Every structure is written in C-alpha cells, then in structure tokens.
Amino acid sequence: MQVTSSVREPLITGGKTLKDVTHDVSRQVEGKPTLGWILGLLVAVGTLLLGSLALVATLWEGIGMWGLNKTIGWAWDITNFVWWVGIGHAGTLISAVLLLFRQKWRMAINRAAEAMTIFAVICAAMFPVIHMGRPWLGAYWALPLPNTFGSLWVNFNSPLLWDVFAISTYFSVSLVFWYIGLIPDFATIRDRATGLRKTIYGALSFGWDGAAKTWSRYESVALILAGLATPLVLSVHTIVSFDFATSVIPGWHTTIFPPYFVAGAIFSGFAMVLTLMIITRKVFKLEDYITIGHIELMNIVIIITGSIVGIAYITEFFIAWYSGVAAEQYAFMNRAFGPYAWAYWSMMTCNVISPQLFWFKKIRTSIVATFALSIVVNIGMWFERFVIIVTSLHRDYLPSSWAMFYPTLSDVGVYLFTFGLFFTLFLLFAKFFPVINMAEVKSIVKSSSEKVNK
C-alpha cells in the first residue's frame, strides 16, 4: 500500500531511504564539531558571561539597578518574560496541536521546536524570579510552603500565582513530551556507537529496544500527552494575559487579552522557529527534511496569526472608544500618538504590515525573505509587550506622577544574558541531540518521500 498524491508536495525530498535518515541526522552527533558551531558557541557563551555581569549586579544590589521608577514598576523584565514565554508556544503547537490534526509536516521540525520551547521557557522563568528582588526568598512567595508566619499561605486568588503553576507545569510537561520522543532516537545513536558514547546514549535511551508492544504504548502516550499539552499551551498564555487583564489599569483591563495573547505567542514562536530552522537546515545540511514546503507552511501560520493580532489591535482601539471610558480612551490615544508612539508604530509595522508580504508566494518561499521577516516579527512582538506594559503604566490616573522609562545597562545586560543562555542551550542541543525526530520521519519515508511520488 503506497499513498501517492499528485497534489501534495513530498515532505522529504532527495529520495531518502530509512538508512539515509539515520545517517543524515546522526552525522552531526557523531562527527567533530564544525568551526561554525564552535564560533557560534563562543559568541553565545560570551554573551552569557557578559550578561551575567548585569545579572550579578541586579542580584547583589537589587532591582534598583534597573530603570524602573515608582510609576513604571514593570518594564523590560516582564516584557522579556512575556516575549520568551510567547516564543515557547510554537514548539508545543507544532508537536501537540499538529499531532492531533495529523499534520505530518510537523515531524521534521517538532524536535528542534520543542527544544526551543524548553529553552525559551527557562529564559522566561528567570524574569519573574529575579524581578522579585530577593529571589532566595521567592520559594515562600511563589509556592505554598509551610512557613514561620503561622502558615500564611500564598494567595490562590492571584493570577500571578496561577502563572507560577502554569509556567512550571508547562515546562515540566513539555520536557517530558520532548524526552519521550528522544528515547528511540537515542537508541539509534547507541546502536551505532562504541565505547563511552555507547554508554552515555545507552543510559539516555532508557534501554529502548523498539518492540511493537512498546511502540504501541509510546503512540498512546504521545497522543494523550498531545491532548493534555494542547489545552495546557492555551492556558499558559491565557494566564499570562490575566496578569494584566485582571488589574484595573486602562489598556490592560480588557477581556480580549487571552485569545489575543495566545495568537501573538504562536505568531512570535513560529517566527523564532523559522529563524532557528533556516540556520539549522543549512548548517547541518538537512534541506531534504526541512524543505521549502515546511517553510511555506510556517509562513502561512504567521500570516494567519499575524492577522489575528492585527485585528486584536484594531478591536482594542475600537472598544476603548466605544466603552466611553475616558481613561481607557486616553490610554489608547497616548499609545498611538503619545511619547511612545515610535514603539507603537514599530509594533504595528513589524507585526501587522510586514507579515502581509507573505501573501506573495515568491516571498513566502524565499529563504532570505523569510529569515529577514522572522526577525522583524520577533522585534515587533517584543515591542508589543513593551507597548502594552510601559505605555499603560507611564501615564496613570495622577498626572503629577507621570513618568518615562529609560532602560539601564543592567536592563540590557539581563536581557542579553537570556539570549546567551538560549543560544548556548540550543547549540549544545543541536550538537549532541538528534535535531530531527528520526523515528517519526522514518514512518513517513514510504508515503511522503519524493521517490514514491514519482
């Protein structure tokens, strides 16, 4: 039984066999690191070390090192937090939601996208922890631990606490989902290796033997995990948006926030997946697995979610006017035409206008254009969070306390630190872990490769 289709493009090009899949993916795990990888790692670790100066300064001196003032209590810290969490969402969307929809094109990209999710969530989680100022006490503020204050518990009515549970559950479940998928591929590397590598990958592969019984269970586990991860990923950014939406700050207090944040998260996440994948496929010569077709499909997701985000921006504006609430109307006019107009219009251009270029097939199938636009989208989404947070706070109810936010070196440094951390982790992953899910890709070699379609 061979499925041939004259309509669908092959998912794997170059007439690959099962053996080729094993070879092409295991190659970079087994070979010596390339010069490009070493240079990349040096830059990433350098950024990490440079940024850690700011991190240490913040931890030592306190968050007075940042540009926050009594009007603007959240700025880069929470902007970066929401931005990184948002980026994480694409990984779960690809691995869980596309699994439920039986989208086979996910198979070549899900491994790296999930890795991106995990690393992005680590970077994100850093910000709420350090913005507490004294993070060593944070466990008592964030977790329901018995304490010496007569067991004064954490407040379960607060969205900030829901966030703690949402982010930590999201991280743990994503990690487990990712690792379950890695087990059969570690076994593949184990069976090709000798000596120390065999021992290490042997332990990592948990004694996987490829038995039909285990595969059958594995498939049920993957399906149920996907079913659990789908509402989970939607809940995470919903709860992140509650951090704002449940407060009474004009510009934050809107019911549109949950769907608007989720769409924005998927939008920025796919942009980051594209940024990483375009480099990965080139460096590791995986163009036959991550094809132009994959890039085009991801670009289509970007047009859709970008348009949803655009509609959300317009809706917010309309509802602010329609509500008749003067403070709400002022908040939005101030966003678009006040002192932060430059940030607002950067956001509008990057997130709403530029992704519309993907309506042209030439642009959405061009690697250079996709790479450039993926970075534009990431910049735009950072500005979105900055606009929502800072412009809503900087002119509050009392004009005498109006202020502007100016980032300090520590603000920039801590953000740099997370970039260093993210790319260090991603580069280590790309070298030592199979970047493509070999087992899953092998299962579609017969039905979706170029060879069969011819």
Partner 1 sequence: MERDKNFVLGVFEDEDVLLEAVAKVRGSGVKIHEVYSPFPVHGLDEELGYKRSKLPIAAFLFGMLGTCLALTMQFYMMKIDWPMIIGGKDHAGLPNFIPVTFELTVLLAAFGMVGVFMITSNLKPWAQPRIFDLRITDDKHVMAIDLATNAAVGEAQIGDILKSCGASEVNKKSFE
Give the nearest distance from C-beta 245 to partner 1 in angstroms. 13
Count of Cβ atoms closer than 10 Å to residue 322 Cβ: 11
Considering only 159, 259, 338, 407, the residue that binds partner 1 (CB under 8 A) is 159
**Alpha helices (H) in 31-92, listed in sequence order:** 35-61, 76-92
Give the nearest distance from C-beta 407 to partner 1 in angstroms. 32
| 162 is a contact residue toward partner 1 (CB under 8 A) | yes
Give the nearest distance from C-beta 213 to partner 1 in angstroms. 6
Q: Which of residues 225-244 bind partner 1 (CB under 8 A)?
A: 225, 228-229, 231-232, 235, 239, 242
Considering only 13, 52, 71, 169, the residue that binds partner 1 (CB under 8 A) is 169
Give the nearest distance from C-beta 202 to partner 1 in angstroms. 8
Q: If DSSP codes are grouped into helix, strand and coil, which group holds residue 296?
A: helix
Q: Which of residues 179-198 bind partner 1 (CB under 8 A)?
A: 180, 183-184, 187-188, 190-192
Considering only 71, 329, 408, 443, the residue that binds partner 1 (CB under 8 A) is 443
Return all residues near 322 (Cβ < 8 A) that are at least 6 apart.
none
Cβ pair 429, 435 in contact under 8 A: yes
Give the nearest distance from C-beta 73 to partner 1 in angstroms. 19
Give the nearest distance from C-beta 10 to partner 1 in angstroms. 18
Considering only 166, 295, 350, 373, the residue that binds partner 1 (CB under 8 A) is 166
| 3 is a contact residue toward partner 1 (CB under 8 A) | no
Alpha-carbon distance 4 to 8, whole Å? 9
Q: Cβ closer to partner 1: 32 or 213?
A: 213
Q: Cβ closer to partner 1: 168 or 408?
A: 168
368 exposed, middle or buried (CB, 10 Å; 0-12, 13-18, 19+)? exposed
Give the nearest distance from C-beta 197 to partner 1 in angstroms. 14
Alpha-carbon distance 92 to 110, whole Å? 8
Alpha-carbon distance 183 to 232, whole Å? 23
Stretch that binds partner 1, among 28-36, 87-95, 170-178, 407-415 (CB under 8 A): 170-178
Alpha-carbon distance 420 to 416, whole Å? 6
Considering only 76, 218, 252, 433, the residue that binds partner 1 (CB under 8 A) is 218
Cβ pair 445, 195 in contact under 8 A: no
List 12's β-bridge partners, or say none.
449
The pattern of x and - marking residues 95 through 134 that bind partner 1 according to CB under 8 A reads: ----------------------------------------
Q: In residues, how long is the chain?
A: 454
Q: Cβ closer to partner 1: 282 or 446?
A: 446
Stretch that binds partner 1, among 38-46, 108-116, 143-151, 260-268 (CB under 8 A): 143-151
Report the Cα–Cα distance between both ends of the chain, in Å, rounded. 15
Alpha-carbon distance 199 to 204, whole Å? 9
Return all residues near 384 (Cβ < 8 A) that are at least 6 apart.
264, 309, 347, 351
Give the nearest distance from C-beta 3 to partner 1 in angstroms. 11
The residue among 364, 207, 397 whose CA lies nearest residue 293 is: 364
Dump the DSSP string for 78-131.
HHHHHHHHHHHHHHHIIIIIHHHTT-GGGGGTHHHHHHHHHHHHHHHHHHHHHT
| 439 is a contact residue toward partner 1 (CB under 8 A) | yes
Q: Which two tokens stand for residue 410?
A: 């520590």
The residue among 80, 224, 182 whose CA lies nearest residue 438 is: 182
Q: Which of residues 14-73 bind partner 1 (CB under 8 A)?
A: 17-19, 22
Site size toward partner 1 (CB under 8 A) is 66
Give me the sign of the Cα torsion angle 266, 371, 415, 306: negative
Q: Cβ closer to partner 1: 210 or 339?
A: 210
Can you give the binding site for partner 1, defined by CB under 8 A?
1-2, 17-19, 22, 144, 150-157, 159, 161-162, 165-166, 169, 172-173, 176-177, 180, 183-184, 187-188, 190-192, 203-204, 206-221, 224-225, 228-229, 231-232, 235, 239, 242, 438-440, 442-443, 446
